[in-house]
């Protein structure tokens, strides 16, 4: 991921006719190479215990420094666990978790790109007020109808993930006519909503593990390049998920090797952003991928 001073769209088209770009607060970010998004969870109940960070600011900053040092281009900050069966978190509690973390990260790492993982427009607004750069919405605006219009007003990039239902009901909603076509139709509808709301940059995430069976997850990964037809950057988030540890018969703590294997598969099939718990290994995967496909 590289950045360059912002310029007119005509000049950008001439300079970067085939590039995928994001505009973040006056900077043009070029996704000419795949990049890594490091996960920071200020939650007590995320499914992978090692991703949980206590409210202690020093521990948050130490973890962020580690992820950035290992090559994270984006830090994804979450204050609400979306795993099945996770405890309900009020909007106020989510804001109280997220805001001090965003503020601390921006103070100590002002150049870092901060994504906030939330499906609530009030959390998005509050996080933006403290410097958040991207909103990562697991529901694609379905759980809060004010989210997409709000992100449009904030004028920042939006990560739109496919999910049905909510984290508690999603695994009862895995019936599809044709899963690739159904997800593509979802994204086409959402992209139309986003552009009408004024969102200039939308990253799509097929939502591995969200309203999908284990078999469906692998089918989507195998056919990930299908979603390149809509020309938006694709984010793949498979890190230590059940599609890996259940297949291998291990725990999330033992799923790093499987994660690395599937991250390479995602890159080979068109992913531009890998959302991961383990940045060093993902960065090495991107480096090897680039060696194969310079």
Q: Is 27 a catalytic residue?
A: no
Catalytic-labelled residue, pool 63, 190, 272, 275: 275
Nearest to 82 by CA among 177, 182, 174, 170: 170
Structure token pair of residue 145: 């109808």
Residue 30 · residue 7 · CB < 8 Å? no
Distances (CA, A) of 250 to 140, 237, 240, 263: 31, 19, 10, 18
Q: Report DSSP state, residue 138.
A: T
Q: Is 8 helix (H, G, I), strand (E, B) or coil?
A: coil
Residue 68 · residue 75 · CB < 8 Å? yes
Q: Is 120 a catalytic residue?
A: no
d(CA 42, CA 52): 6
DSSP-assigned letters across all residues of 181-192: HHHHHHHHHHHH
Residue 258 · residue 244 · CB < 8 Å? yes
Q: Where are the beta strands (DSSP E) in 60-151?
A: 74-78, 113-117, 134-137
Catalytic-labelled residue, pool 63, 97, 212, 241: 241
d(CA 179, CA 216): 8
Would you name the residues annotated as active-site residues? 241, 275
């Amino acid at each position: 991921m590289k950045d360059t001073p912002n310029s007119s769209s005509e000049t950008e088209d001439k300079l970067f006719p085939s590039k995928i770009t994001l505009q973040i607060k006056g900077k043009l970010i070029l996704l000419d190479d795949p990049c890594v998004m490091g996960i920071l969870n200020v939650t007590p109940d995320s499914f992978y215990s090692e991703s949980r960070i206590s409210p202690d600011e020093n521990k948050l900053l130490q973890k962020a420094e580690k992820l950035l040092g290992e090559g994270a281009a984006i830090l994804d900050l979450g204050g609400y666990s979306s795993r099945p069966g996770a405890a309900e978190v009020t909007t106020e509690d989510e804001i109280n978790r997220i805001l001090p973390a965003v503020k601390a990260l921006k103070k100590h790492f002002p150049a870092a790109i901060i994504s906030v993982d939330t499906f609530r427009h009030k959390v998005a607004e509050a996080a933006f007020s403290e410097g958040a750069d991207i909103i990562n919405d697991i529901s694609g605006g379905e759980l809060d109808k004010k989210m997409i219009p709000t992100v449009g007003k904030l004028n920042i990039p939006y990560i739109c993930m496919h999910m049905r239902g909510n984290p508690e009901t999603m695994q009862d909603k895995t019936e599809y006519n044709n899963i690739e076509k159904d997800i593509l139709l979802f994204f086409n509808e959402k992209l139309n909503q986003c552009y009408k709301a004024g969102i200039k940059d939308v990253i799509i995430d097929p939502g591995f593990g969200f309203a999908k069976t284990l078999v469906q997850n692998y089918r989507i990964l195998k056919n990930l390049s299908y979603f390149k037809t809509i020309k938006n950057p694709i984010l793949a988030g498979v890190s230590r998920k059940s599609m890996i540890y259940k297949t291998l018969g291990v725990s999330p703590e033992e799923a790093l090797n499987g994660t690395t294997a599937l991250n390479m598969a995602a890159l080979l099939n068109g992913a531009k952003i890998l959302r991961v718990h383990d940045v060093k290994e993902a960065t090495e995967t991107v480096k090897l991928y680039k060696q194969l496909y310079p």
